[in-house]
Each structure stands twice: as C-alpha cells, then as structure tokens.
Structure 1
Amino acid sequence: MFKMKFFRKSLALIVCIGVIWTTNVSFLINTVDSPVVKLIILDPGHGHATFMQGTMNPAIDQEVHVYAPAGPDVQQYINAIERGNNRKSNPTNWKLVMYTHSDYLERMIADKKGNAVLISGNNSKKSEYITRSIDAGFHVIADKPMAINDFKSLEKSFATAARKKVVLFDPMDLRYDISNILQKELSQIPELFGSLQKGTLENPALVQANLHHYLKGPAGQTAVRPGWFFDVNQQGHGIVDVSTHLVDLNQWLSFPGKSLDYKTDIKVISSREWASRLTPSEFKLVTKLNKYPEYLKKDLKDSILSVYSNGEINYTIKGIHSKVTVLWNYKEPPGSSDTHYSLMRGTKADLEIRQGAAEQYKATLFVKPGKYTDLDEFAKYIKTAEQQLQAKYPGTEFIRIGDQWQIKPGAFQRTNSAEVAISYIKEGRMPEWEAPNMRAKYFTTIEALKIAKRE
C-alpha cells in the first residue's frame, strides 16, 4: 500500500522536475561535447546527496539516474531537486530517471547508466555500496563516513580502485573554507609560525572541535532527519561520523601534500564517547515520527533516547600530539549555528580559529604570538605575512587586538568539493597523497571507536 502511494505521488513530479519513473528505459547519449560526469545517485538518505546538484555544471550531464528503494529517504532527495529546479533565482534543470524496485543495486550495476556513483545515506550500507560500485568500475563519490566499523573492506576498495583506475573520494568541504585555507597558509611561513610543536597529551599541537545541533531552523523546518540517523548501528557513532572532517583537517593542515602511512604514522592513544539524550517530543519534532522505531528500543530508558554522538580522540600523527572533539546538542540557540574550533601550536605563534558568540558565529582566524615574544618585533613579521597573503587574496587584513591579530580575509576564488570531485574524475586520478591519507583518516576514527568501546 505504501509503495503504491509513493509511486503515485512521485509520478506527479514528472511535469515539474522531469522525473521519469521507469523499469526499463534506454537513452541516446550525445557524444559531442559529452559531459565528464554522468551521475548516478545510489539510495540517497542525507541532504549531502544533492551536493553536486546545487547548480548546473556543464561537466555534469543534466540527466541523473537514481537507484533506491521506494520510501521517504528518496522522496526527500526528489523534493530537494524539485526545489532547486523551481526556485526563482538561478534555477537548476536536472532530469531524474528513477528506479525504485527492491533490486535497485543489482539494476544499477547492470544498467551502467553513468560513470560516477554518489553515495550519501544510511551508513550501514555504505561498505557494500562502495565495494560493489568500485568492483563494477564506477568512480565513487562517497559522503563521509566511508566506513563506520569495517576498515578492511574500505582498504580493499582503495586497492581495487587503484587497479581499475577509478576515483574513490570523500568530499571534505572544510578544506575550502577561507579561514582554514589562511590557517594553513600562515603555518607555512616559518618567520611567523615557526614550526609545528610536538605537543603533549595535555597540550596537543593540533586541536579540532565541532559543535552540531540536531534541530536547525524554526521548528526544525530546515532539517528533518530520518529515524535511523539516531541509530549508531546505521548512522555510526559520533566518533566515526563528523569527526572524519576534523581528523582530515589535522592531516591536511600539518602535512600538506604528504602521504601518511597509517601503519607507522598514526597512533591512537585514548578515546571516549558519551551520549546526547532526546525526549519523545524532541525526537518527534526533528524526525516527524510519532514514535520510536523498533531499532531504537535498545537505546531507550524511561522513554529517553541515548545517542552516542559525542566523542574525543587523542592521537599522534608522525609524533605530533593531536586531539579531535565532536559534540551534539539538541537545538541551536537563537542567532547561533554549528561551530568549529581549530588550533595549531607553532614554536613562534599559535594559529587559532574561533566561531563563538564573540565572533558572531563566523569562523575567524587569530594569530597569537608566543608568551615571551616581543610584540613590536613580531609586528614586522605580521606585516610581511600580510603582504604575502594580499598577493594571493587581495584585501586581506591583519587587525591587531591587544596581544593578538585577527585575520580579515580578502577576495578569493571559492571552490568546493563538488568541483574537486569533477576534476579528479576528469583526470582519472587523485593527488598521490589523497588515497593514503583517507586510509589514515578512517584507520584513526575506527581504531578510536574500538578503544572507546573498551573503556
């Protein structure tokens, strides 16, 4: 009964967004100036499933094939595409070709309607989806986390991708935020930053922390989350989920352009996790579900849902003490947002990104000279660094506030992970450091989860 209702509702979308619901349709592909990416969406269940379709891109074929089980997850994806196609400002023009039968995965592999598979949804299925897609010779763009507990399967997929000469990539948008870019740039100026300290367990040299919220916008209008998002067996523990962005930043900032070997370069010292708790009314508001699904009953006590979404990892990268913390609160306070904190401790100065109320919840980079530094002498190095950055990012300013300097970014050519993914697919390869560093990243998070579970 549900499938029939869903089918009829989706057919109504054909006129407004160009959805074709089919069991067997063939197409003529224009081989003249053919786009680089012929996109397939596999079982979308997260808002990131649309990240390559925010705007039209001539490198991506406007006809996108979607393979998924019928249900609310794929419907939410369709609704998002519909909103983009119907918006007044810079509307998109995506043509979706849908296949929603139970054999969707087998059919995707058999049809071969594209060359790149985007995977963003229930993480418990991700290892199988990645393995099957790579084995079939598709490029794979997989939303984080690529793996929540099965590191060996992911490692095999990287080996297969290398052998088949296809791209396996997880988008990391924090790399393209200007505050992180400038932090990385300044860390490469030895006169200003010195060199990266080794740090200690108590005072790590690399620190990353994120605060997220389950409910965003008025009454949760901007983010309805599926029930499985709150099941760590399906979404993953927080320590292996959004922490991937933070582990990635620590690697990207401290060893730019260098390959890491997880077997020798990564050591997880300690980790821990703790739960966020939701009442039945809070769960209903954020999921639009009237009751807890059966799979969440294991996490209930006196009707309160415990979700192990918070975590902390203490580890070393090539001997550099590093720390990652991820936190989840239920609801954003008025005027606030998700926040990011980043710290790099140098022998001459610290580079710190803050995004709290004092920064109006905008990521802001500060340079803090060492405790015994002559500030007037240090100001000379600040001026030289400012001139260097202005050459690349016109208008960049260093504003002195007491014993520190705030960096006001200038103009820069914004990019994102969608454009990076397209470039990787176009080239048919990634930078040499990308795959080994992804392996190092997921080794770190999965090893940390093992340790946290033992504690």
Structure 2
Amino acid sequence: MTRPISNGLLAVAVLLSACSGGSKQDQPEEKQSMFTGAKNEVKLMTLDPGHFHAALVQKTMYDQIDPTVYIYAPEGEDVQDHLNRIEGFNTRADNPTSWVSEVYTGDDYLEKMLAEKPGNVMMVSGNNAKKTEYIKAAAAAGINIFADKPMAINTADFALLEESFKAAEANDVLLYDIMTERYEITTIIQRELSMIPEVFGQLKDGTAEEPSITKESVHHIFKYVAGNPLKRPDWFFDTEQQGEGMVDVTTHLVDMIQWEAFPEQVLQKSDVEMVSASRWTTELSLDQFQKVTQKDAFPDFLQKDVVDGKLQVYTNGEFTYKLKGKYAKVSVIWDFQAPEGAGDTHYSIMRGSLCDVIIKQGEAENYKPTVYVRATADEGQESFEGNLQQAVSEELASQYPGLELVKLEDKLWTINIPEEYKVGHEAHFAQVTEKYLDFLTQGQLPEWEVPNMITKYYTTTQALEMAKK
C-alpha cells in the first residue's frame, strides 16, 4: 500500500515491529503504563534501517502495533533495501502482511523524527557507528526504544549507553535490545535442565582451560534470508561502522551465558573479570565482496583494510572471563559461505557437578541444533537416569509436550524435539517483539534486565579492549 506524502516524505508499504527497555524497578507499583495492550496503540518509528534485522521484526503483524510505520533515514540503498524487504512480506503468497510506511529521507532524519515524534516506540537496526547516539537521543526525548544488537561497539559507546539507560529511567521509557537466541528451543532446554539440581547438580566453577560454560558460533557472510540471497551494505565490512566480531554476535553469546548460568539474577560490572581475549580477520576477495554487496569495487573507507587486493575484516574473536567466579568462554567465527546444506552453527556446553548439557550443530547433527546430556559421575547412574527421564517427560514436557529422551550409549542421551518448536532464527524476531509488547503494557522490565544489559555490553567492550592490546 502506498500513501502519497509531501515535503520529502515518501510512501511505501511498511511496518516495523519495535519494542524497548529501560528499568523502572524504582517506580511505584501503582503507576500505570501508557500502554494498555489495546489494538494499534504502539506507533512505530524506524530510524536509519540498514540491517536486515530491521525488516525481520516486521515479518509478521501484531494487534498492538499500528500498521503504519514512520521511517526516518538518509537517502540511499539502505532504506530502499529495507522497503523492498517489507514490500516482499506484504506481497508474499502465504499470509502476507499489510504494513504501510511513511518515509522521510534527508540528512536531518534524526532531528526530523525527534521534532515530529509520530510514534511512541523507535526501532533501530543498522549502522552501529551512530546507533548508541540514536539511542541516547531517543531516550532523552522520552521515546521507547527497541534496538537490535549491538547497542555499543566500543568503550566510548558503552559510556554513552549507560547514560542512555539513566535517561530512559528518568523519562519513564523502556530501552531494550533484541535477544532472539533466548527463544531457541535447544537453548531453552539447556537452561531448564541446568536449573534442576537432581539432574544437573551445580554449575562448576570451571577453569580457563575448561570453562563452566562455553558458547561458540560460526556465521556466514553470504546466506539466504526470507528465501532470498542476503545483500549486505558495504559499510558492514568496516569495523568502525559495524563493529568487530568481538562486540557483535558475541552480544548474544554473553547474554545467553548470563541468562542460563544466573537466571533472573541481577548482575553488575563488578561481577566480570576478563581473563584473556584475541581477535583475527576474515579475508574476502573482490569477487566475494561483489557477490554479497553488489558493488564493483572496495570503497575508499575500506582501503585501509585491503592487503594485496583482499579485504581483511576483524570479524573473529574469542575471550574467556569470569562471571561471579565462574569461568566462561565466548567464540565467534565468520566464514564467507556455508557448505551445501549447512548454515550458521552453534556449540554450547554447561558443565554441572552431575552432568554436562551440550548443544551441537555440526555435520553429525545435519547442521540442526541438538541437545545432549552426558553424565559425569561414575556412580549412581540408575538414579541419575531416572531423574533425567522424569525431568524430560514431566517437568520439561509439561511446557513442551512431545519431548523424548533417547539413550545413545552409556552415560549419554539426546532429547528429541518436535519440529513445531524449531521455528528458526527469523521467527524469533516476532517472539521477542511480542515479549517486548508485554513489557510495554506492564510499564516495566524485569528488575534484572537493565543491570544485566549493562553488564553484557561492559563484558563485550572490555573483551575488545583486551584483545587490541
């Protein structure tokens, strides 16, 4: 649907689902939220969309979100690519969406949004060089913010992010980042099992060589999104704009460590002790760069990273740290393209005093995330297996019917998960958006969310600082 608009406003069918966060635990309980859950009461504004995640929030529609979304952006390919993705959702044969976009393009896009404020929630997913500044400006203007990760890519951004949370609290709005991986069923099962003492025991302290919890992921520069080859903007390969791998995907991994190892507990910066950190580059040929960006040459701003005709990008990194005395390790690797039939992969292990709960997603698993339970004690195996069976068939299956425990060998089991729970990465955006809408209606986030977001970005930015030394 297209709506004609004057004064530089352009109309295109669009919506952006957004939500946000900012702690309100200090607010009086009787204070009412400005949101009631009513139809169309959430009015979205999308600021400078440059990452495909901005569109994925809109892959579905939400009763609480008005179909008209206000988009403010500089002119260029980023905003047009975003609009094309939304139009694709609107015109698909299966369950099409019906978003309407009102688009303003101009160099003063931020100022224009702040002056007009046609919406009450700002969604931001794009160039990370300015993202934290956008967040701070919106929070100061009393606008709720639903932000794609990362919200900070260096220590200067982190300081600004802390100020943004203070502004959000002062102005009674919610600032929240989009943590889709909390909705991955294998991660949920890993977390739930680790919270059953009869099965998991207690999380080990671990060591630097064998951490108590490890999260590793492999991502790919060229891939398919919503059934189409993903076109990435050229600035995606500039770490001054996108951020290094150390502070990008690792945001999810650190979030899951906090969410699983210390569920619903308030964490502080003082709980973090960095142990080691390293980073290295992914090499791209000009042909590969052209394939994913559709640009003929490396732009001038990337020439600083071109060596012998190939682009060197700091997309990879790993770090080990202690969180409340527990050793944790995070690793992220970017390859150009996955093998045929494969995709992004994830590996995770939580080490308990009774068992390890593991997620693997390799060739043996047909590149599908799979949960394993490996008993670590030599004695009491019959009792352990009984407790594990009960945990899966009763406690977990009460929330997720159909789960099945399968013994593979002595002291090793897997959990079969019905396909209905394997909704995939793109569908997680709708799930986290629905969650954020609930928070808006409640008028607050859980009391641990804001301090833990601060702790998370402190961890990633400190890791980068250490890796650069």
TM-score between both structures, scaled by the size of structure 1: 0.92
Question: Which residue identity does 1:441 align to in structure 2?
Answer: K
Q: State the shift of 1:327 in Å.
A: 0.3
After TM superposition, the structure 1 stretch with the greater mean CA deviation from structure 2, 185-194 or 44-53, is 44-53
Secondary structure of 1:38's aligned partner = strand
How many Å separate the matches in 2 of 1:374 and 1:412?
32
Q: How does 1:289-304 map to 2 (within 5 A)?
A: 289-304=295-310
Aligned residues of 1:41 and 1:64 also touching (Cα < 8 A): yes
Selected match of 1:346 from 342, 347, 352: 352
Selected match of 1:283 from 285, 289, 300: 289
Deviations 1:153-186 (A, max 9, x none): 0000011111111111111111011111111111
Question: Which residue identity does 1:360 align to in structure 2?
Answer: N
Deviations 1:267-326 (A, max 9, x none): 111101000000111111111000001000000111110000000010011000000000
Match of 1:124 in 2: 129
Match of 1:439 in 2: 454
Question: Which residue identity does 1:388 align to in structure 2?
Answer: E
- 2:329 is the counterpart of 1:323: yes
Deviations 1:221-258 (A, max 9, x none): 52111100000000000000010000000000011111
Question: Which residue identity does 2:444 align to in structure 1?
Answer: R
How many Å separate the matches in 2 of 1:51 and 1:423?
19
How many Å separate the matches in 1 of 2:5 and 2:405?
55
Q: Are the structure 2 counterparts of residues 120 and 289 from structure 1 closer, same or farther at C-alpha, using a change threshold of 3 Å?
A: same
Aligned residues of 1:342 and 1:354 also touching (Cα < 8 A): yes
Match of 1:23 in 2: 7
Question: Which residue identity does 1:23 align to in structure 2?
Answer: N
Secondary structure of 2:274's aligned partner = strand
Match of 1:142 in 2: 147
Deviations 1:370-417 (A, max 9, x none): 052443332111222122212221111110001311011256697721
Structure 2 unmatched ranges of 5 or more? 10-35
How many Å separate the matches in 1 of 2:316 and 2:387?
39
Q: How does 1:197-216 map to 2 (within 5 A)?
A: 197-216=204-223
Selected match of 1:378 from 381, 384, 389: 384
Question: Which residue identity does 1:175 align to in structure 2?
Answer: R
Q: State the shift of 1:38 in Å.
A: 0.4
Question: Which residue identity does 1:116 align to in structure 2?
Answer: V
How many Å separate the matches in 1 of 2:228 and 2:403?
36
Secondary structure of 2:209's aligned partner = coil
Match of 2:416 in 1: 408
- 2:69 is the counterpart of 1:64: yes
Aligned residues of 2:245 and 2:315 also touching (Cα < 8 A): yes
Selected match of 1:389 from 364, 372, 396: 396
How many Å separate the matches in 1 of 2:196 and 2:286?
52
After TM superposition, the structure 1 stretch with the greater mean CA deviation from structure 2, 34-43 or 200-209, is 34-43
Question: Which residue identity does 1:282 align to in structure 2?
Answer: Q
How many Å separate the matches in 2 of 1:260 and 1:272?
24
Selected match of 2:184 from 159, 163, 177: 177
- 2:171 is the counterpart of 1:187: no
Deviations 1:109-134 (A, max 9, x none): 00010000000000001011001111
How many Å separate the matches in 2 of 1:190 and 1:428?
34
Match of 1:109 in 2: 114
How many Å separate the matches in 2 of 1:19 and 1:211?
42
Q: Compute the RMSD of aligned alpha carbons.
A: 1.9
Match of 1:100 in 2: 105
Selected match of 2:86 from 78, 81, 84: 81
Runs of 4+ in 1 over 6 A off after TM superposition: none
Secondary structure of 2:42's aligned partner = coil
How many Å separate the matches in 2 of 1:304 and 1:413?
38
Which structure ranks higher in relative contact order (CA pairs < 8 Å, sequence separation ≥ 6)?
Answer: 2
Q: State the shift of 1:22 in Å.
A: 3.6
Aligned residues of 1:37 and 1:60 also touching (Cα < 8 A): yes
How many Å separate the matches in 1 of 2:4 and 2:437?
25
Q: Are the structure 2 counterparts of residues 451 and 22 from structure 1 closer, same or farther at C-alpha, using a change threshold of 3 Å?
A: farther
Match of 1:249 in 2: 256
Aligned residues of 1:22 and 1:98 also touching (Cα < 8 A): no
Question: Which residue identity does 2:165 align to in structure 1?
Answer: F
How many Å separate the matches in 1 of 2:137 and 2:458?
21
Aligned residues of 1:244 and 1:445 also touching (Cα < 8 A): yes
Match of 1:356 in 2: 362
Q: State the shift of 1:33 in Å.
A: 5.0
How many Å separate the matches in 2 of 1:33 and 1:275?
48
Selected match of 1:48 from 46, 53, 64: 53
Q: State the shift of 1:88 in Å.
A: 1.1
Aligned residues of 2:198 and 2:384 also touching (Cα < 8 A): no
Aligned residues of 2:185 and 2:422 also touching (Cα < 8 A): no
Identity of aligned residues (%): 44
How many Å separate the matches in 2 of 1:413 and 1:207?
22
Q: State the shift of 1:141 in Å.
A: 0.7
How many Å separate the matches in 1 of 2:455 and 2:176?
14
Q: Are the structure 2 counterparts of residues 255 and 89 from structure 1 closer, same or farther at C-alpha, using a change threshold of 3 Å?
A: same
Q: State the shift of 1:56 in Å.
A: 1.6
TM-score between both structures, scaled by the size of structure 2: 0.89
- 2:467 is the counterpart of 1:452: yes
Match of 2:316 in 1: 310
Aligned residues of 1:36 and 1:422 also touching (Cα < 8 A): no
After TM superposition, the structure 1 stretch with the greater mean CA deviation from structure 2, 403-412 or 243-252, is 403-412
Question: Which residue identity does 2:383 align to in structure 1?
Answer: E
